[in-house]
């Protein structure tokens, strides 16, 4: 019995040790520690604050790790909890300590580690070693991590080992009941709409310029997210070249309103619908050949198209037409009754755009078209057998999604007053995908929340700027494993994603070695 606990402790300890070293080697730990110390430990003298922040970080991570180490496995005794906590803490602490000694010794010998590992500057290593020499710092780290892990394990035992899962379940049901009450009662719904609207009118007036800019970025990502939501969330077509339509919209506005490569200098308000129409047309034209493909092949083809468009837009061969690698500069701000729209007023324009798109999406979702999309997503063959012209509905989804992206791109180019190929890299598509997936595929409030979480919060936490993209990547994997239906799932999606689990609970325990048929 203690054997299993030791083994479990060893396992979690190894994983945690790896995570700790990873956090240190990528420099994330130092950024976290600094921001912790600045935000929470303001009362301490500033010279000591950094080290205290590092300790606090290790303490938090250790306690969390301890609660994980002591859950589930083995009999529920104090002895067992402390034992697995101790083993886990020692193993993870040892991993960090060894790393710290290795690094610390190098720095003491005057080696410039930054040549190979850019995050390990001398100050960062000093922070890691808590201002001590390599050996004593490492021993101290080992002590802190082990103590925190044991503390976490004991805490877990004291609260009852089921406390965490129970709390999580309670939280989940709370969220879902709130969202259920929102959608079920029309009166509540209209009041919320009104409040949100009032808030949206009021908020931009109190925010400063940079916050308004951030809000604008979030709004553009809501636009893009809602468009991709139709393609991925409703119609079930994974489009990795979504940025191509964004580029079409942005370049249409930039080329036709800017003085530079062509000198058309048309009015923004005329070009905006044109940009949307062009993007939709591009979506349909691209869709005709590729939409016969299924699933992952479609994803790769669209990715290829996106890259082709980006490379072409930035190539020297087309410099005369698209501005080449430099892109198009000096795009004029749109004018409203003769006045150019400032950052604050542009936010209103974006909000109007978002509201329009939300309205269209909501109406489509519950219409015959939306149901046809969902049917197609669930099972294309069956949908076809039920008389749905799948190609046509796919084209419609692609076209509407592309139109939204074109609108986003048009507003983006007009707001930034320039656009170049760097604005249209694959990463934009991936960002939008992350917004849709984190928020909840097929769910409008989900996409809005996703845009705020993934684009809004990182803009506010500037010190974590460097770690934003890795966060996207990690979140995509984590969400797929833990909560594929997203933060605010659409009801149908939630049922679908947990269908197999429900079945497994009711019927036989699943055999992990079987299950390949689902892929076919």
Partner 1 sequence: MEQSAAPRTSLPFSIAWLIRIVLWIGLTLIAIGPAINFVRAATTPAQLVVHLITGLIILGGVYAEIWIATQPGLRNAYQLFQRVLFIQFIAFVILRIFTVLAVEQAYGPEIWMRFAISGLIIGSVYALIAIGYTLVYGILFMINFAHGDVMMIGAFAGYFIFEGLGGWILDPAAELSFLNAYPILSIILAFAGGMLTSMMVGIALERIAYRPLRAAPRLVPLISAIGASIFLEETARLMFGSQTRPYQNPDLLTRGKGIDIVINQAPVRITYTGIFVLILAMVLLAGLYFLVQRTKLGRAMRAVAQDKKTAALMGVDVDQVISRTFAISGLLAGAAGVMWGIHNGQVDFFMGFVPGIKAFTSAVLGGIGNLPGAMVGALLLGVTESVGPAGLGLDFQLKDVIGFSILVLMLIFRPTGLLGEALSEEKV
Q: Which of residues 16-45 bind partner 1 (CB under 8 A)?
A: 22, 25-28
Binder to partner 1 among 61, 224, 349, 388 (CB under 8 A)? 388
Question: How far is residue 136's CA from residue 80's CA, in Å, rounded to a whole number?
Answer: 30
If one asks whether residue 281 binds partner 1 (CB under 8 A), the answer comes out as no
If one asks whether residue 290 binds partner 1 (CB under 8 A), the answer comes out as yes
Question: How far is residue 128's CA from residue 122's CA, in Å, rounded to a whole number?
Answer: 10
If one asks whether residue 271 binds partner 1 (CB under 8 A), the answer comes out as no
Binder to partner 1 among 102, 386, 460, 461 (CB under 8 A)? 386
Rounded least distance, CB 494 to partner 1, Å: 13
Residues 74-133 that bind partner 1 (CB under 8 A): 116-119
Tokens read off for 430: 């991936």
If one asks whether residue 398 binds partner 1 (CB under 8 A), the answer comes out as no
Spell out the residues 6+ positions from residue 490 whose beta carbon is closer than 8 angstroms to its own. 233, 440, 441, 442, 443, 446
Burial class (CB in 10 A: 0-12, 13-18, 19+), 358: middle
Q: Helix 295-313 crosses helix 243-257 at what angle (to 10 degrees)?
A: 30
> In terms of CB distance, is 11 or 132 closer to partner 1?
11
Stretch that binds partner 1, among 63-71, 209-217, 275-283, 507-515 (CB under 8 A): 507-515
Q: Are 82 and 89 within 8 A, CB to CB? A: no
Cα-to-chain-centroid distance, residue 294: 25
> In terms of CB distance, is 206 or 518 closer to partner 1?
518
> In terms of CB distance, is 242 or 348 closer to partner 1?
242
Residues 442-461 that bind partner 1 (CB under 8 A): none
Helix then strand then coil, % of the chain, to nearest 5: 80, 0, 20
User: Other CB atoms closer than 10 Å to residue 36's CB: what's the count?
Assistant: 19
Burial class (CB in 10 A: 0-12, 13-18, 19+), 498: middle
DSSP 485: T
Rounded least distance, CB 292 to partner 1, Å: 8
CA pseudo-torsion sign 100, 101, 106, 108: positive
If one asks whether residue 513 binds partner 1 (CB under 8 A), the answer comes out as yes
Binder to partner 1 among 162, 296, 463, 465 (CB under 8 A)? 296
Stretch that binds partner 1, among 152-160, 332-340, 457-465, 495-503 (CB under 8 A): 495-503
If one asks whether residue 517 binds partner 1 (CB under 8 A), the answer comes out as yes
Query: CA 88, 90, 94: angle at the middle one, nearest 5?
Result: 120
Rounded least distance, CB 73 to partner 1, Å: 19
- Print the binding letters for residues 346-385 with partner 1: x by CB under 8 A, - otherwise: ----------------------x---x-------------
Residues 471-490 that bind partner 1 (CB under 8 A): 472-478, 480-481, 484
Residues 410-449 that bind partner 1 (CB under 8 A): 430, 433-434, 437
> In terms of CB distance, is 115 or 206 closer to partner 1?
115
> In terms of CB distance, is 154 or 230 closer to partner 1?
230
DSSP letters, 242-268, are: THHHHHHHHHHHHHHHSSSSS-----H
> In terms of CB distance, is 280 or 347 closer to partner 1?
280
If one asks whether residue 273 binds partner 1 (CB under 8 A), the answer comes out as no
Residues 219-238 that bind partner 1 (CB under 8 A): 232, 236, 238
Stretch that binds partner 1, among 58-66, 332-340, 354-362, 494-502 (CB under 8 A): 494-502
> In terms of CB distance, is 48 or 499 closer to partner 1?
499
If one asks whether residue 297 binds partner 1 (CB under 8 A), the answer comes out as yes
DSSP letters, 323-392, are: -GGG-B--PPPPEETTEEP-HHHHHHHHHHHHHHHHHHHHHHHTSHHHHHHHHHHH-HHHHHHTT--HHH
Rounded least distance, CB 235 to partner 1, Å: 12
- HEC string for 19-30: HHHHHHHCCHHH
- Print the binding letters for residues 300-339 with partner 1: x by CB under 8 A, - otherwise: xx-xxx-xx--xx--xxx----------------------
User: Other CB atoms closer than 10 Å to residue 127's CB: what's the count?
Assistant: 21
Kindly determine how many residues on this chain lie close enough to bind partner 1 according to the rule CB under 8 A: 75
If one asks whether residue 135 binds partner 1 (CB under 8 A), the answer comes out as no
Length of the chain: 520
């Amino acid at each position: 019995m203690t054997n299993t606990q030791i083994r479990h402790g060893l396992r979690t300890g190894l994983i945690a040790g790896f995570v700790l070293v990873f956090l240190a080697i990528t420099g994330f730990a130092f950024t976290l520690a600094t921001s912790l110390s600045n935000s929470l430990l303001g009362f301490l003298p500033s010279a000591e604050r950094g080290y205290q922040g590092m300790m606090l970080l290790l303490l938090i991570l250790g306690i969390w790790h301890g609660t994980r180490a002591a859950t589930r496995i083995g009999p529920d005794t104090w002895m067992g909890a402390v034992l697995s906590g101790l083993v886990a803490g020692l193993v993870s602490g040892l991993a960090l300590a060894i790393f710290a000694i290795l690094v610390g010794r190098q720095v003491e010998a005057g080696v410039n580690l930054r040549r190979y590992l850019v995050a390990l500057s001398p100050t960062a290593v000093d922070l890691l070693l808590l201002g001590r020499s390599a050996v004593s710092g490492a021993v101290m780290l080992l002590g802190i991590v082990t103590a925190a892990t044991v503390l976490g394990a004991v805490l877990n035992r004291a609260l009852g080992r089921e406390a965490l899962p129970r709390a999580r379940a309670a939280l989940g049901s709370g969220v879902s009941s709130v969202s259920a009450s929102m959608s079920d009662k029309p009166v509540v719904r209209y009041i919320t709409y009104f409040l949100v609207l009032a808030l949206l009118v009021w908020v931009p007036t109190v925010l400063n310029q940079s916050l308004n800019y951030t809000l604008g970025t979030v709004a553009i990502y809501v636009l893009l997210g809602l468009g991709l939501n139709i393609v991925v969330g409703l119609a079930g077509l994974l489009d990795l070249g979504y940025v191509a339509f964004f580029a079409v919209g942005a370049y249409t506005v930039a080329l036709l309103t800017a003085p530079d490569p062509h000198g058309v200098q048309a009015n923004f308000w005329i070009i905006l619908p044109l940009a949307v129409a062009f993007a939709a047309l591009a979506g349909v034209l691209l869709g005709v050949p590729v939409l016969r493909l299924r699933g992952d092949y479609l994803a790769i083809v669209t990715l290829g198209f996106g890259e082709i468009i980006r490379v072409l837009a930035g190539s020297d061969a087309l410099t005369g037409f698209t501005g080449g690698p430099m892109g198009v500069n000096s795009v004029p701000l749109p004018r409203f009754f003769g006045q150019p729209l400032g950052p604050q007023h542009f936010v209103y324009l974006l909000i109007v755009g978002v509201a329009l798109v939300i309205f269209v999406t909501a109406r489509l979702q519950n219409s015959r078209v939306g149901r046809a999309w969902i049917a197609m997503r669930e099972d294309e063959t069956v949908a076809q057998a039920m008389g749905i012209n799948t190609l046509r509905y796919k084209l419609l989804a692609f076209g509407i999604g592309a139109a939204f992206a074109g609108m986003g791109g048009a507003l983006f180019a007009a707001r930034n007053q320039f656009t170049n190929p760097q604005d249209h890299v694959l990463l934009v598509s991936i960002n939008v995908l992350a917004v849709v997936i984190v928020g909840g595929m097929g769910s409008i409030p989900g996409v809005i929340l996703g845009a705020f979480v993934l684009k809004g919060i990182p803009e506010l936490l500037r010190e974590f700027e460097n770690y934003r993209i890795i966060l996207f990547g990690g979140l995509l994997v984590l969400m797929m494993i833990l909560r594929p239906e997203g933060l605010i799932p659409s009801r149908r999606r939630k049922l679908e994603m947990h269908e197999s689990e429900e079945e497994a609970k009711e019927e036989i325990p699943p055999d992990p070695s079987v299950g390949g048929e689902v892929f076919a």
